[in-house]
Amino acid sequence: MFDLKSIVRPNILTLEPYRCARDDFKEGILLDANENTYGPALSAVTESEKLLQLNRYPDPHQEELKRQIVDFRNSQINQYSKSNLEVDNLCLGVGSDESIDMLLRCCCEPKKEKLLICPPTYGMYSICAIVNDVQIVKIPLTVPDFQIDIEKIIEVLQRDPDIKLLYLTSPGNPTGALINVDKIVALLERTGNTWNGLVVVDEAYIDFAPPNGEFSQSLSTIVNQYPNLVVLQTLSKSFGLAGIRLGVTFCNKQLAKLLNSMKYPYNISSLTSNVALKATSPSGLSVMKHYVNLITKQRDIVLRKILSFEYVGKNIGGLDANFILVQILDKTKQPSNETALKLYNRLAKDNAVVVRFRGNELNCTGALRISIGTEDENKEMLEKLEQVLCELNM
């Protein structure tokens, strides 16, 4: 039976959220937090900056922002959803990377407990595990569809109780492929009573994935049904706000309380919160959806064109993110890391077009990951890529 207390490190279970006088009293002459009461050290302060009160510490709880995020996700329920998300299901972080790291610190005792990942996958999982001295166990995604191998995962989890976390990326990076929602739910159900750990699904690109009929592909709205599920999201991708660094963790309320106790009290700045509130408002969501529609249309155009090039092989990954992953071929028409790496460098150094070489990732030989730009950027990228690729294979 799933037992969160036996997963979380004992020292974390004793934590209480940081509290300050501002939690109880927010108005009046505020002399409790050792702030500079004269204001920010700016030669000129705009009206919008005055409203932000930049000389004051930001709200440590961000309940208004959490409410808007919850309302948005509750409007896009998953087919398995039985109850709505609540504000108490959320913890906000400095991008998803803070949440990735915090879950490791919360659940994995260094030098003893382990993290399971399914490559090819996002590189920060391994980096955070190494920093926290947590051993990594790997079970590759299946090929060519880049899905989870449920039977192998269950076999390893049952054999090794020191594995406390399983990190999945859906849609995947660098694969761009959504992991079948039914498979993840099946994994949650089959492991819920046989393995005491957390399945963490990183949904950084989820808004680019086409819905399943009337239902969202996001698993965020089922964390109350499955206490062993954690879902990570970010405003960096579909919302176009990589610069503000805001990540969202959805999980059961007990775990959310622990994560909110662990986080630094003022991790979300007033500037970040102000922009995020605008982006998750009805008008902001309308803009986000419009941009996502433009990107997905351009993605289809770019893919169709690039696959017509003589020395481009197949699209390796899926069509569920704001990028594609394509094979680059050599003169013999075989996937080639050497050719792909040369193409990557020539595009960047000589043509001012920067993509990403991913050929060293498992089962991604010869791969370039190409983000979808604006229509003009995509046209220029395609012209230069075709030209350089032909030159390399002359």
Tens digit of each residue's pLDDT (9 = 90 or more) over 37-49: 999 999 999 999 9
Q: At what angle do helices 253-262 and 95-107 cross, to 10 degrees?
A: 100
Q: Which element (helix H / strand E) includes 106?
A: helix 95-107
Grouping H, G, I as helix, E, B as strand and the rest as coil, residue 81 is coil
353, 346 contact by CB (below 8 A): no
**What are the φ/ψ torsions at residue 185 (nearest 5 degrees)?**
-65, -40
185, 213 contact by CB (below 8 A): no
Q: How far apart are CA 263 and CA 102, in angstroms?
A: 8
Structural domains of the chain ordered from first start:
4-20+57-280 (3.40.640.10), 285-392 (3.90.1150.10)
Write b or e for each residue in 235-263: b if 16 or more Cβ atoms lie within 10 A of its Cβ, otherwise e. Answer: bbbbbbbeebbbbbbbbbeebbbbbbbbb
Cα end-to-end distance, the chain, whole Å: 62
Write b or e for each residue in 127-138: b if 16 or more Cβ atoms lie within 10 A of its Cβ, otherwise e. Answer: ebbeebebbebe
CB contact set of 283 (below 8 Å; sequence gap of 6+): none
Low-confidence ranges of the chain (pLDDT < 70): none
Q: Which residues pair with 254 in a beta bridge?
A: none
Query: Pick from 254, 226, 184, 187: which is nearest to 81 by CA?
Result: 226
Q: How far apart are CA 101 and CA 331, in angstroms?
A: 43
95, 103 contact by CB (below 8 A): no
Write down the pLDDT at residue 374.
98
Write down the pLDDT at residue 16.
83
Q: How far apart are CA 243 and CA 309, in angstroms?
A: 34
347-376 pLDDT, tens digit per residue, is 999 999 999 999 999 999 999 999 999 999
For tokens 């090794």, the residue is 160
Write down the pLDDT at residue 20.
80
Q: Which residues pair with 202 in a beta bridge?
A: 169, 232
Find the length of the chain: 394
